[in-house]
Structure 1
């Protein structure tokens, strides 16, 4: 004897749960970004470094004063490294940051072009005079220099030179 089973409709709650799981998986893929991309809300480490979704990111094309670095302004020292970190924090605060990875440095950071709210973070840091241009952004550096913004308002040691002289800081 062959028994036929009547197909029972699945409860709508099960369909809703499946749709929710699929939707969350899709959002997770969007949140994590594409391969070669780091995206999310950032924690600022210093004037040219962020942490996004557990990954350290270094802004491509700029070099900001180190966190403990002092510059000179009006004949007095001022904490330019802290000022750079603060400005990057203002630019990234409560904004979704999307970074396109260009390379990985010796510290395993994703060297990246990063944008928040449509703004290029490297460009904005150089324009503010709180980072020097390494690759690109040279027009922004010339403008910041001419206007005497940030580190260009007084004397400073280039961040790479400061790091060499202050290893371990």
Structure 2
């Protein structure tokens, strides 16, 4: 074999071998790059997921550690408190009215007896509860035996009181004109005393109706004879 041909053959084989090696390197590099790219692409979402989860958990922990702030007022309502923030007041049940304040016992000195049923304190008067006042000019008894029972009823109440103080149930000591209330001399209810002794009749629906009727049947006070004849 000629040297030139031998050298040419060796050179050709070297070129072919170089081309094969270059092609294999390219093929291997492409595969490695693709694998690297794929691995990086797979790793990126996983890393993003881990980062997102970590942030969410961090936010949850931070919120749980913070104190709960009170709700800020709505700027549109001028900072007015919400209905839930306003303390509710006790409501009166339907069909019921608010009860008035209980009256208190007030001591009144030296009442004047206007008639059997009304006490006067200057221009102010107290009508004894539960009875119908007996007018001073009332006349009782049959014809020929009539007598001034109204004046006698007034005198009987005056003799009972004898200018002593009485205790009356009032809202205030500064009442005006005429007020209906219960008054007592010690523990003796004045209205009940008048009804029991027949010096006044019971008002309609009064709790004194029964004792007033008992006095009428017994002929006491207005229902009897002139006591001056006895």
**Normalising by structure 1, what TM-score?**
0.60
**1:108: Cα distance to partner?**
2.6
Instruction: Map 1:52-63 to 2 at 5 A.
Output: 52=121, 55-63=124-132
Partner Cα distance (2:148, 2:207) in 1: 26
The structure with higher relative contact order (CA 8 Å, sep 6+) is 1
**1:37: Cα distance to partner?**
4.0
Query: Are positions 1:50 and 2:119 aligned together?
Result: yes
Q: Deviations over 1:3-50 (max 9, x none)?
A: xxxxxxxxxxxxxxxxxxxxxxxxxxxxxxx86746222111111111
Alignment gaps of 5+ in structure 2: 1-102, 226-230
Q: 2:184 aligns with which of 115, 120, 141?
A: 115
* Matched positions, count: 117
**1:139: Cα distance to partner?**
2.1
- The residue aligned with 2:109 is 40
More strand per residue = 1
- Alignment partner of 2:135: what SS? coil
Query: Are positions 1:146 and 2:217 aligned together?
Result: yes
Query: Are positions 1:71 and 2:140 aligned together?
Result: yes
Confirm or deny: 8 A CA contact 1:56 1:110 kept in the other structure: yes
Alignment gaps of 5+ in structure 1: 1-33, 155-169
Confirm or deny: 8 A CA contact 1:38 1:52 kept in the other structure: no
**1:64: Cα distance to partner?**
3.1
- Alignment partner of 1:83: what SS? helix
- The residue aligned with 2:166 is 97
Query: Are positions 1:82 and 2:151 aligned together?
Result: yes
Instruction: Map 1:125-164 to 2 at 5 A.
Output: 125-134=194-203, 135-153=206-224
More helix per residue = 2
